[in-house]
Chain A
Amino acid sequence: MNLRSFRTAAWLGWKIESNWTDPFLFAVYSIIKPLAGAAILVVMYSIITKGDFTNPLFPYIYLGNAFYMYVGAVMTGVSWAIIDDREHYRTLKYMYVAPIRIPLYLIGRAVARFLTGSFSVFITIVFGALFLHVPIEVAQVDWLLFSVSLLMGVVLLALMGLTLAGITLLLARHSDYLGDAVAGGLYLFSGAVFPLDVLPAWLRPIGYAMPITYWLELLRRSLVGSVAQAFPTLASLSNNQLLAILGGMIVLAAFIAVITFRYCDHQARERGYIDRTTNY
């Protein structure tokens, strides 16, 4: 039943995400948006540095921004399924009475966003490597570290999304902003587009407490090892230490997700929030 819930939800999510238009327009949509987002940072960087793309800071910013797209895609994707099903399609109550596991259904719904997000990340990185001198050499990439880090990151984001989905169940207003709120906070504090050393000293501990910080560092190291060595923030930690920290944080995130979702789900059922529509 678990696998079936997940698989069916993934298929449903893919239909919702993609079948509003023809495949060509969908591909254009999936390319323009991420490239424009990356181009803002590229233009900002090139204005100030007069186009010096050889500085290690550039791949740091570029890759951090590219992989950060997964945060919006997976984490927000899981929690957005609650808003979509409850407010928009008004089908959440039917999902609750169907013989499925709701947490797996919600994670399954984010698979489509993971796939479109992966496409956006891939296009952005290829564009950077081809046209902006992002120094990725396929032969030098640590594929094992990359695959393990990516997988751990996706699991982490899905768990964080489940926590947000639980909280979303109890929110009447601004529930659609919750994912953006958390994603915005993580973007600032996780050093996605600038080294954590740039933050004021009193804000840096927030960055060190965020798993995304370690995840992005691992992805950068796996693709362009030289970038990681150029910045002192996490340079003292080895890859294995970073993996251990990330693994520990995933276990913690799983614990928080299970507890939070169970509590919020129970509260939502008790208060009659499962089929509530606010039109807000």
Chain B
Amino acid sequence: METAIRKNTGWRLFIQTILGRAYPRVVGMSREKSWLFFDIFLPTLSVSAYVFVYRAIGAPEEYIGFVVVGGAMTAFWMNILWSMSSQLYWEKETGNLALYIMSPTNLMAILLGMALGGLVATAQRALGIILLGSLAFKVQYALGSFWQLLLVFFLAMTALYGMGMMTASLFLLLSREAWHIANLAQEPIYLAAGFYFPIKSFNFWVAAAASIIPLTLGLDAMRQLVFPSGPALGFLNVRVEIFILIGLSVLFITAARILLRKMERLAIREGRLTESRR
């Protein structure tokens, strides 16, 4: 006897696709426990190196907390680079991309699913790094407003994953240079976004330009909300940063939607969906 399969269409299919694509990213973590070592312990080693640099130069203790929080947030940037932006390139390499395109669903829903799954999985990693780093270095927190913190995190992630979806559409056209470009976007972004120091240390216009990366303002606002000296070292007022993050969220998601359509058409026209130039 055959099991009847309910075939969804419209928004139901859209939601089903999101959940379907998010599923392996979340469930994969519970099946493969080694991520605890590779995604929490190893990044904590890097964070520790920066902590000891600050200790060597006699930095105030709050900078240790800045590094721990910044180091945890690098997990999200790595996720954006390697599991969002370049994901469609990997899918192309493994032959899945053509299957996505010919399936009766929407590529935007697939990207949203990748984003949702990546966000949930990466949040666990980031939380692990913060817990381990905070315990190891006895970081002191002084939470200002929990709801503001939650809002900032939510907005920063919405804008960041919107940006990831947008760049994923651009990576659709790339071939083997995708790996190198993603690789190039690590250290320069760690520097520009102030992962290991307050962004206020830069000239105003440099910091303003760096604010196009959602994590720059998100991280700055979060530091202001969880550290006693945060507001003094903050770049802009938290409320202003919240408004800018709302703007960035709308901008990146809209741009992702438009670019994805254009790039998908272009990739189909130029025959790049199935190419494999290694």
A40 with B49: CB separation less than 8 A? no
B63 near A: Cβ within 8 Å? yes
- Please measure, in the bound complex, the distance between the C-alpha atom of A43 and the C-alpha atom of B180, giving whole angstroms: 25
Which residues between 163 and 199 of chain B lie within 8 Å of chain A, taking CB atoms?
176-177, 180, 183-184, 186-188, 190-191, 195-198
> Interface size (A, Cβ < 8 Å)?
37
- B residues within 8 A CB of A180? 42
Known: A32-B184, A181-B38, A199-B52. A48 touches B57 (CB 8 A): yes
- Please measure, in the bound complex, the distance between the C-alpha atom of A185 and the C-alpha atom of B44, giving whole angstroms: 10
B23 near A: Cβ within 8 Å? no
B177 with A193: CB separation less than 8 A? no
- Please measure, in the bound complex, the distance between the C-alpha atom of A92 and the C-alpha atom of B183, giving whole angstroms: 24
Known: A43-B191, A89-B278. A184 touches B53 (CB 8 A): no
B153 near A: Cβ within 8 Å? no
Could you mark each residue 182-221 of chain B with 1 if its beta carbon is under 8 Å from any beta carbon of chain A, else 0? 0110111011000111100110000000000000000000
A33 with B54: CB separation less than 8 A? no
B2 near A: Cβ within 8 Å? no
Select from chain B the residue with minimum beta-carbon distance to A38: B187
A173 with B34: CB separation less than 8 A? yes
Q: How many CB-defined contacts (below 8 Å) exist between A and B?
A: 95
A271 near B: Cβ within 8 Å? no
Known: A89-B278, A187-B46, A198-B52. A40 touches B180 (CB 8 A): no
- Please measure, in the bound complex, the distance between the C-alpha atom of A43 and the C-alpha atom of B50, giving whole angstroms: 12
- Please measure, in the bound complex, the distance between the C-alpha atom of A88 and the C-alpha atom of B176, giving whole angstroms: 11
- Please measure, in the bound complex, the distance between the C-alpha atom of A87 and the C-alpha atom of B38, giving whole angstroms: 19
> In the complex, how many angstroms separate the beta carbon of B138 from the nearest chain A beta carbon?
12
Binding site of A, secondary structure by majority: helix, strand, loop or mixed? helix
Name A187's contact: one of B49, B58, B186, B191 (CB within 8 Å). Answer: B49
B196 with A44: CB separation less than 8 A? yes
Known: A32-B188, A279-B94. A188 touches B52 (CB 8 A): yes
- B residues within 8 A CB of A39? 191
Could you mark each residue 35-77 of chain B with 1 if its beta carbon is under 8 Å from any beta carbon of chain A, else 0? 0001000100110111011111111000100000000000000
Could you mark each residue 169-193 of chain A with 1 if its beta carbon is under 8 Å from any beta carbon of chain B, else 0? 0000110010011001101100011
For the complex of A and B, the 4 pairs showing the least CB-CB separation, nearest first, are A194-B56, A36-B187, A36-B188, A37-B187
A-B contact pairs, 6 of them (CB 8 A): A43-B197, A47-B197, A177-B42, A184-B45, A188-B48, A194-B53
Interface residues of chain A, those whose CB is within 8 Å of chain B, are: 20-21, 29, 32-34, 36-37, 39-41, 43-45, 47-49, 57, 61, 88-89, 173-174, 177, 180-181, 184-185, 187-188, 192-195, 198-199, 279
